[in-house]
Amino acid sequence: MPQHPRTDRDHLILALSYWPTGATNSGWRSRSSSLDGIFDPGLLAETARTAERGVFDYFFWGNTEDSSNANPGGVIRNAFQFNGFAAASYLAAVTSRIGLIASVNTTYSDPYLTAQLASNVDHLSRGRFGVNFVAGAPGGAAHRNFGHGERPDHADAYVRAGEFLEVFTRLQDSWSDDWFVGDKEGGRLFAPEAAEPIDFVGTHFQVAGPLNAPRSPQGRVPILHAGTSEESFALGARYADVRFSPYASIEWNRAYAQRNRELAVAAGRAPEDYAFVVGANIYVGETRARARELFNEVQRNLVERFSPVVVGRHLGLDLGEVRPSERVIDVVDPTALPADGTGRALLDEFAGIVGDHDFTFDDLFRFAANKKNFPVVVGDPREVADWIEAGYVSGAFDGVKVFPPFMRTAFADFVDFVVPELQRRGVARTSYTTETLREHFGLARPGVLRRSAGSSARPAVAAAELQGVNA
Ligand SMILES: Cc1cc2nc3c(=O)[nH]c(=O)nc-3n(C[C@H](O)[C@H](O)[C@H](O)COP(=O)(O)O)c2cc1C
């Protein structure tokens, strides 16, 4: 049985990260990939129905606000990604159970508009919407698309993110649940006192409120968050229901979840209300050989190579002069690398998939480019289910977000081969037992918390205090 705290959620959270061209840079070139309708609502609808067939908890749209040409593979993926609010509005009408989660970059977005959109899509989906808040990856050119002279520094981006989430949360509570009156005779459509201003004054935002939308079905939509810094941990501990987490190993992830749950407890929350979902690039075939074939094909098809600089940084070496055809073990002794470092982990992960350390730098650059920051799992349905079950049962994570290497079959095969295996093992749900996204996560619907109500659960937070939280 799982060893970590549990709510009444008794199942593995299953999620899909939707990228019309697949989550890899080169998967779209696979013989099995379908390019029909990559920017067509038909593919969205079909994929969401496939996910509902697999009793998935949520459908997720990642985002990037950087449209510069710095990363050619990234441009291919991002140009065909729908904005999550737009796509979720559409899927709200053609699906019935799956949760829908859009990503918002707090550095470039507006909290009032975001709260209005979130409330609207939560109404349109009858309580199935959520938002993933990110402060945005450093080093990109996104600021040039939003009229910002330069990107704010890291600390300031997180101060802004803290204020953003406070405004977002308070606006969702700016209408009480009993807003509707509907009294035609008396001329009262809604109770005016049901909506209260929030009068937030911060460094980055001054927002009066109330929201121009009545309280949404979930009261507050679930919040997801991802990031690697202490500022990100503090923000998530205060606001996030689900943390999108890196994956390193069962031990590392158990410690990661425990540490973040402790931070949530220190912020006044229950540890079991904070879930941890890891992403994984999953290549599954009916046989291991078929899965390997898919994996090899996607690696072979990469057009641009991952910069040797990035792989070199992991290995602690300058690889600028290395010949791509050179064997890695002729240059690097994996056993001499720090046992808990990212370089050793990268080499061991790749060796685990291809069977030994007999590979070239070209192979390794391709692997790193397609892998991005997520683990790569290649195998038959039982092997993939073994990896998921081991992490779930040991408390390393509460859920898995599947990054299929391409559409459509790579995801359908996960649903048709791996999900039944997880269901047989009692890890995944066999049917939807809950209605809203909050309920899928095992979270209760929150009451309205107002500053004026003097609630201790969410006390008034001054901008200065927020800076303290984010420090
Ligand atoms: C697992 C994970 C997933 C992420 N997904 C996104 C994303 O979809 N869009 C985005 O703009 N940033 C994404 N990020 C970047 C974070 O938002 C964050 O801005 C970045 O890591 C820098 O902040 P940090 O110093 O706290 O890590 C992700 C980060 C992690 C660790």
Burial class (CB in 10 A: 0-12, 13-18, 19+), 420: middle
Interval 274-295 mean pLDDT: 97
Closest ligand 1 atom to 279 CA: 1
* CB of 246 closer than 6 angstroms to any ligand 1 atom: yes
Pairs from 366-369 (Cβ < 8 Å, separation ≥ 24): 366/299, 366/300, 366/302, 366/305, 366/306, 367/299, 368/306, 368/310, 368/311, 368/314, 369/25, 369/26, 369/73, 369/302, 369/304, 369/305, 369/306
Eight-state DSSP code of residue 83:
P
Percent of the chain clearing pLDDT 70 (strictly above): 92
Interface predicted TM-score of the whole assembly (ipTM), two decimals: 0.95
Distance 146 CA to ligand 1 centre (A): 19
Give the total number of structural domains in the chain.
2
Same domain flag for 122 and 259? yes
* CB of 324 closer than 6 angstroms to any ligand 1 atom: no
Same domain flag for 359 and 396? no
Contact 224, 240 (CB under 8 A): yes
Closest ligand 1 atom to 231 CA: 26
Closest ligand 1 atom to 373 CA: 1
* CB of 62 closer than 6 angstroms to any ligand 1 atom: yes
Distance 195 CA to ligand 1 centre (A): 34
Interval 107-113 mean pLDDT: 97
**Probe target for ligand 1 pocket from 17, 134, 225, with the most ligand atoms within 8 Å of CB:** 134
Task: Indicate the Cα dihedral angle 249, 329, 353, 387, nearest 10°.
Answer: -10
Residue 466 pLDDT class (50, 70, 90 cuts):
very low
Interval 427-438 mean pLDDT: 97
Count CA atoms closer than 13 A to 365's CA, side-chain side. Answer: 22
Residue 317 pLDDT class (50, 70, 90 cuts):
confident
What residue type is assigned to position 46 of the chain? E
130-173 pLDDT, tens digit per residue, is: 999 999 877 778 888 888 878 889 999 999 999 999 999 999 99
**Quick one: pLDDT at residue 426?**
96
Report the CATH number at residue 87.
3.20.20.30
Among 371, 399, 417, the domain-final residue is 371
**Quick one: pLDDT at residue 463?**
39
The boundaries of the domain holding residue 214 are 13-286+380-470
What residues pair up with 99 in beta bridges, in sequence order? 58
Of 18-27, 118-127, 259-268, the least confident: 18-27
- 81: which residues sit within 8 A by CB, 6+ positions away? 18, 19, 20, 61, 62, 63
Instruction: State the first-to-last Cα distance of the chain, in angstroms, to the nearest integer.
Output: 37
Distance CA 192, CA 196 (A): 9
Among 352, 371, 390, the domain-final residue is 371
- Residue at 259 is within a domain: yes
Closest CA to 56 of 65, 48, 66: 48
Distance 62 CA to ligand 1 centre (A): 10
Eight-state DSSP code of residue 110:
-
Same domain flag for 248 and 355? no
Distance 1 CA to ligand 1 centre (A): 31
Same domain flag for 97 and 207? yes
Same domain flag for 213 and 347? no
- Residue at 220 is within a domain: yes
Same domain flag for 262 and 396? yes
384-423 pLDDT, tens digit per residue, is: 999 999 999 999 999 999 999 999 999 999 999 999 999 9
